[in-house]
Each structure stands twice: as C-alpha cells, then as structure tokens.
C-alpha cells in the first residue's frame, strides 16, 4: 500500500499524521442534531450520538501506548473486532492541543468529525460506555464492533479552548468491514471473492478518482503493488504504456484473480500489465500505470 497514487483517496479518508489541524475557541452550541454536510474530501461529516449501544463495553477506556494491541490507536484499538485492522489514532497523555475541545462528550464527537480528527464512519456512532472523564462510541456491524471512538474530558491548551472534551483515541477495521453505504459514499469500491466474501483493501481495492483533481470519471484499481486505471484522461497518456480499451476480450493465458464486484470479474494479463474487468463476453481493459500517478 506504499504506492504514491494511494494519496489520491487515502488523504480524504483518514486524518493527517500531524498536529496542524486548526484550533478554535470552545463556543460550540450543539443540540445533538445530526450535522450533515459534504462527505469525505471536504473536511466535514455527520455524527449522531446519545443512545446507548447494547451491550455496554466493560473494558478499560484508557490504555498506555505500549500496552495497546495497536500502538497507534490506544484503548480504541483494543475494542474493535476485526478480521483485518484498518487504522487508528491516539493523542496520548498530557495537554491536548491538536484541535478544538467541547463542553460535552457528544459535542466533542461532532467537533472532531468536523475537524476530521478521526477516520472511518462519522454517522451512526452510538454511546456504549460513559465514565466521568471518558466516553466510548462504537459502530456495530451485525452486532460486532467495527469502529470505536473514545473521547476524554481533560486538560487542553488555550488555543484548543481550554479544558474540555476531545477525541483521545479511535480505531476502525478495514474498509471492507464497514457499511457499504459509507464506502460507496466516499467512492471506495469493495471487491469480493467468488463466494461473495468482502476482501480486505490490503489485498484489492478500487476507488473513484478525486473530485478536486477533476478525475472523478476515472476509476483506480490497486492489486498488490500494481495500479490500473479505467478510462484515463487524455492528458495522462504518459503514465501508461497503452490506452484504455472499453471493449476487449479476455486473452488466452489471462489470470483469473477470483475477485468480483457488481457482477464483474477481474482477470490480469500474464505479464500483469493489463487488468480485464467485466464478463467473459465483454471486458474493459484497464492499463497499468508505468509510474506513480497522483495530483496535488
């Protein structure tokens, strides 16, 4: 997953690994109304909170980094139950200064979503545990916790608004384990095997090109270290050895990957320079990039 091209979509879905998010004075007056705005890529989202999930979580809401299952996610990483882990974040201890604080746990969740301070789903999180200085919100899929966000009432810098509630740790499973309404909403396409089981994005993933580059007519497909592109724009021909073919045939010797999506199968040429997406009778040929393709 180290291809530079991943910046086309990853940066719109997870917080940046820095402390440069803007801060704000704590003047939020949120009435626990779902705040709805543009989806990923614009720095805004929607969050609902308040009603408790069942059953409540009985484990610790604070874990030292060295004791956590996932060092990058603190206690939240110990709560999620994943076939494949996705991502997480942990502010650690001390004085918080990475974003704005809020007056209540519920408000902190909405403020953090607006600042894009935690990754994954920002809508439908439910309160699972409440302590005097921490609260746990979870997203369950078929009764299994796939995302956890822990907010804390603790000390913070004056620029963050002073002492208040903020996201201390968060974690979510691989996008393949999150709701399709979420993944499709942010332009991430999940593939399955022949039995219909979703495949982790560490194995295979495709996504719609970023709108801020005006590339949304393109689809990117990553399989291992290779990136293939559906219908590259004319100005990008230098990144490919050959053009996209809307109507092609599966060549002899093609490799059946066993992956499927929306009734379409995926084959690769024997040299893995072309991806063939479609049905046996009609496939599109997506050329492989010859060098990293990204936009600012």
- Look at residue 273 in the predicted model and tell me its pLDDT: 97
Q: Is residue 96 a contact partner of residue 108, using CB atoms and an 8 Å limit? A: no
**How confident is the model at residue 92, as a pLDDT?**
77
Residue 27 belongs to some domain of the structure: yes
Q: Hey, how many other C-beta atoms are within 10 angstroms of the C-beta on 115? A: 21
The model carries a pTM of 0.82
- Please check the confidence at residue 27 and state whether its pLDDT lies above 80: no
The pLDDT of residue 52: 53
Based on the fold, state whether residues 29 and 163 are members of the same structural domain: yes
215 and 168, same structural domain?
Answer: no
Q: What is the pLDDT of residues 213-228, one digit of tens each?
A: 999 999 999 999 999 9
Q: Give the distance between the most distant pair of CA atoms in the chain.
A: 66
Evaluate whether 199 touches 190 at the Cβ level (below 8 Å).
Answer: yes
Lowest mean per-residue pLDDT among 42-51, 71-80, 139-148, 210-219: 42-51
Q: In terms of domains, do 168 and 204 share one?
A: no
Q: Which residues of 183-213 are buried (b: 16+ CB within 10 A; e: fewer)?
A: beebbbbbbbeeeeebbbbebbbbbbbbeee
154 with 246, same domain? no
Q: What is the pLDDT of residue 256?
A: 97
Last-in-domain residue among 123, 156, 178? 178
Q: Which of 30-39, 65-74, 152-161, 260-269 bottoms out in mean pLDDT, i.e. has the lowest?
A: 30-39
Residues 33, 174 within the same domain: yes
Closest by CA position to 217, among listed 200, 198, 234: 234
Within this chain, do residues 238 and 262 fall inside the same structural domain, yes or no? yes
Indicate the residue among 150, 178, 206 that finishes a domain.
Answer: 178
Mean pLDDT of 237-253: 95
Contact 175, 114 (CB under 8 A): no
Same domain, 174 and 208: no
Q: How confident is the model at residue 240 (pLDDT cuts 50, 70, 90)?
A: very high
Q: Is residue 19 over pLDDT 90?
A: no
pLDDT in tens, 37-67: 233 333 343 445 445 555 556 789 998 888 9
Q: How many CB atoms sit inside 10 A of residue 246's CB?
A: 12
Residue 26 is predicted with a pLDDT of 30
Q: Using H for helix, E for strand and C for coil, what is the string for 47-59?
A: CCCCCECCCCCCC
Which one of 161, 178, 195 terminates a domain? 178
Q: Domain check: are 22 and 156 in the same one?
A: yes
Q: With respect to residue 7, please indicate whether it lies within any of the assigned structural domains.
A: no
Query: Sorting pLDDT into bands at 50, 70 and 90, what band is 234?
Result: very high
Mean pLDDT (whole number) for 116-144 = 94
Residues 217 and 87 in one domain: no
Q: Do 160 and 207 sit in the same domain of this protein?
A: no
The residue segments making up the domain with residue 75 are 14-178
- 221 or 20: which leads in pLDDT: 221
Q: How confident is the model over 161-212, as pLDDT tens digits?
A: 999 999 999 999 999 999 999 999 999 999 999 999 999 999 999 999 999 8
Give the per-residue pLDDT at 286. 98
How many domains, the chain? 2
Identify whether residues 57 and 29 lie together within a single domain: yes
Strands 245-248 and 264-268: unpaired
Q: What angle do CA 198, 202, 203 make, to 5 degrees?
A: 65
- Summary mean pLDDT of the chain: 84
Q: Higher-confidence residue: 1 or 84?
A: 84
Domain-located, residue 8: no
Q: Are residues 174 and 191 in the same domain?
A: no
- Residues 74, 149: Cα–Cα separation, whole Å: 10
Let me know: does 227 contact 289? Beta carbons within 8 Å: yes
């Amino acid at each position: 997953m180290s291809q530079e091209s991943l910046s086309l979509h990853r940066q719109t879905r997870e917080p940046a690994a820095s402390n440069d998010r803007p801060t704000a004075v704590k003047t939020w007056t949120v009435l626990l109304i779902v705040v709805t705005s543009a989806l990923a890529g614009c720095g805004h989202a929607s969050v609902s909170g308040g009603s408790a999930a069942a059953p409540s979580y009985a484990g610790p809401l604070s874990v030292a980094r060295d004791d956590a299952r996932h060092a990058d996610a603190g206690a939240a990483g110990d709560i999620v139950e994943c076939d494949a882990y996705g991502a997480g974040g942990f502010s650690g201890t001390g004085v918080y200064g990475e974003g704005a604080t809020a007056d209540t746990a519920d408000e902190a969740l909405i403020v953090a979503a607006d600042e894009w301070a935690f990754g994954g789903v920002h809508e439908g999180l439910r309160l699972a545990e409440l302590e005097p200085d921490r609260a746990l919100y979870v997203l369950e899929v078929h009764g299994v916790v796939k995302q956890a966000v822990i907010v804390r009432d603790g000390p913070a810098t004056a620029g963050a608004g002073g002492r208040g509630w903020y996201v201390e740790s968060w974690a979510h499973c691989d996008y393949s384990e999150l709701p399709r309404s979420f993944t499709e909403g942010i332009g991430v396409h999940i593939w399955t095997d022949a039995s219909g089981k979703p495949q982790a994005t560490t194995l295979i993933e495709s996504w719609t090109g970023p709108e801020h580059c005006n590339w949304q007519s393109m689809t990117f497909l990553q399989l291992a270290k290779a990136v293939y592109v559906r219908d590259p724009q004319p100005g990008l021909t230098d990144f490919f050895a050959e053009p996209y073919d809307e109507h092609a045939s599966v060549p002899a010797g093609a490799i059946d990957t066993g992956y499927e999506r929306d009734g379409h199968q995926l084959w690769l040429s024997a040299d893995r320079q072309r991806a063939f997406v479609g049905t046996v009778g009609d496939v599109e040929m997506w050329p492989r990039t010859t060098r990293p393709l990204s936009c600012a």
